[in-house]
Amino acid sequence: MSERADIVVIGGGIMGLAIAYNLAKLGAGDIVVVDRNYLCGGASGRNGGGVRAQWSSEANVRLMQESIKMCREFAREMKINVWFRQGGYLFLTRDEEKRRALEKSVKVQNECGLATRMLTPKEAQKIVPELDVGSGTSAITAASFNADDGVVFPWPFVWGFARAAEKLGVRVLTFTDVVGFETKGKAITGVVVKKTATKTATETATLGKTETRTIRTSRVVNAAGAWSPEIARMLGVELPNTPHRHEICSTEPLKPWLGPLVADLTDGLYFSQSTRGEIVGGIGQERVPHGIDQNSSFAFLGIYARSLTRACPVLGNVKVLRQWAGCYDITPDANPIVGPVDDVAHFYQASGFMGHGFMMAPVVGKLIAQYIVEETPLPMFERWNLRRFKEGKLLSEAMIIG
């Protein structure tokens, strides 16, 4: 069996769906999105929903200024409530090196027009009275705050893009795995896919266990997140991304008391309070299994609990209701890989966003779609090309959490 598409987008997460939606808006033709799982089955449905413009590089700050505006308009445009609330981000530091890095980041943000401000520990405590600024070597040394940063509920954000894309004619194929490509020279001529599951027992009985077919196309977007290197390798393209398990947990609901999302740059702790009252948060872990792993661990709970109660001791008796894990998509320089590659024609990358592709997807999806349709250079994205790793032109980003 075979069918045709003008563009195939691999990955039905927030990035792939945002790209597909914007491609359809620009009249790019017949767009097909394929995902090996259900919508929200990957990182897009497993993150904390944070959206912020507090970054250390001008490119990221400017992108997120636009993305936050788009988040603000999302519910009206997509006709779906994503519970976007702008309570701000409060970043904390506990050593002098991190404090100096934070000051540099805030300077960049101010130059871009953000109202971010540096705070003393006591000023940070005025924003979150329950915060323990500590003493001695583990004391909070400084903080930064931007009131425009916020949090959205991830699932309806994904569903909103999917539904809006389908209304514009995009075909979203879930439980559909990419198993290979057909090529001619440097050109892609088809994407070979296999149905991995069906929605009902009747479909299973009718179609059997698998259904393999080729989607004829010459343009492909690789937006498969932590699975992107696996997809690229099928075309002989090596991406330096590596998956890294990241865990999150949610507590019982509490009365509203926490305004901003609080993030500690020293150990990667972050936590916020949802509109339903739960404390949702995570923390960075170095010792996790290599490869794709979305299992939860007891080790995470211990590390997270110690850091969380150091920041806010009042949370020591709160009950954890559930925890889950997803995969960060890590690159060597903590910056994404975006745009075409040299070895395969019209094979566009949109991966390596660490744990922050979710918040960048609205604006990045729009810009990538413009690049593909209009074929106009994007200087902002040129810095994110794949060649930089071979050329040794690595970038930097200091404001990574989790």
The whole-number pLDDT of residue 199 equals 56
CA 133 to chain centre: 30
The whole-number pLDDT of residue 354 equals 87
Task: Give the DSSP H or E segment for 221.
Answer: strand 220-222
pLDDT tops 90 at residue 193: yes
Homologous superfamily (CATH) of 87-149+242-330 is: D-Amino Acid Oxidase, subunit A, domain 2 (3.30.9.10)
- Interacting residues of 50 by C-beta distance below 8 A, sequence separation 6+: 89, 149, 150, 151, 261, 270, 272, 358, 359
Arithmetic mean of pLDDT, 200-208: 47
Phi/psi for 113 (5° steps) reads 100, 5
The whole-number pLDDT of residue 210 equals 60
CA 251 to chain centre: 22
pTM for the full model?
0.94
Q: What is the largest CA-CA distance in the chain?
A: 68
Residue-range domain boundaries for the chain: 2-47+155-240+334-391, 87-149+242-330
Q: Of 281, 232, 287, whose CA–CA distance to 260 is shortest?
A: 281
Q: Which two tokens stand for residue 76?
A: 């009206």
pLDDT tops 80 at residue 215: yes
Residue 198 — very low, low, confident or very high, per pLDDT cuts 50/70/90? low
Question: Using one digit for the tens of pLDDT, what is the confidence trace for 112-154?
Answer: 999 999 999 999 999 999 999 988 778 999 999 999 999 999 9
Question: Using one digit for the tens of pLDDT, what is the confidence trace for 25-73?
Answer: 999 999 999 999 999 999 999 999 999 999 999 999 999 999 999 999 9
Residue with tokens 């701000």: 88
Residue 2 — very low, low, confident or very high, per pLDDT cuts 50/70/90? low
Q: Quick check: do 2-47+155-240+334-391 and 87-149+242-330 share a fold?
A: no
DSSP E strand boundaries for 147-219: 150-151, 171-173, 176-184, 187-195, 212-216
User: Is residue 19 within 8 Å of 327, Cβ to Cβ?
Assistant: no
Handedness of CA 397, 47, 330, 183 (dihedral sign): negative
Q: What's the CATH number of domain 2-47+155-240+334-391, 2.60.40.10, 3.40.50.970, 3.50.50.60, 3.40.50.300?
A: 3.50.50.60
Strand pairing partners for 203?
none
User: Is residue 202 within 8 Å of 329, Cβ to Cβ?
Assistant: no
User: Is residue 3 within 8 Å of 217, Cβ to Cβ?
Assistant: no
Residue 381 — very low, low, confident or very high, per pLDDT cuts 50/70/90? confident
Q: Of 302, 281, 270, 309, whose CA–CA distance to 401 is shortest?
A: 270
Residue 206 — very low, low, confident or very high, per pLDDT cuts 50/70/90? very low
Q: How many CB atoms lie within 10 A of CB 116?
A: 26
The string over 70-102, giving b where at least 16 C-beta atoms fall within 10 Å of a residue's C-beta and e elsewhere, is bbeebbeebeeebebbbbbbbbbbbeeebbebb
pLDDT tops 50 at residue 205: no
Q: Which of 30-34, 54-58, 207-211, 361-365 comes out lowest in average pLDDT?
A: 207-211
Output the average pLDDT for the chain.
Answer: 92
Query: Is 296 strand, coil or helix?
Result: coil
Question: Using one digit for the tens of pLDDT, what is the confidence trace for 289-316?
Answer: 778 888 889 999 999 999 999 999 999 9
Arithmetic mean of pLDDT, 3-18: 97
Arithmetic mean of pLDDT, 81-106: 95
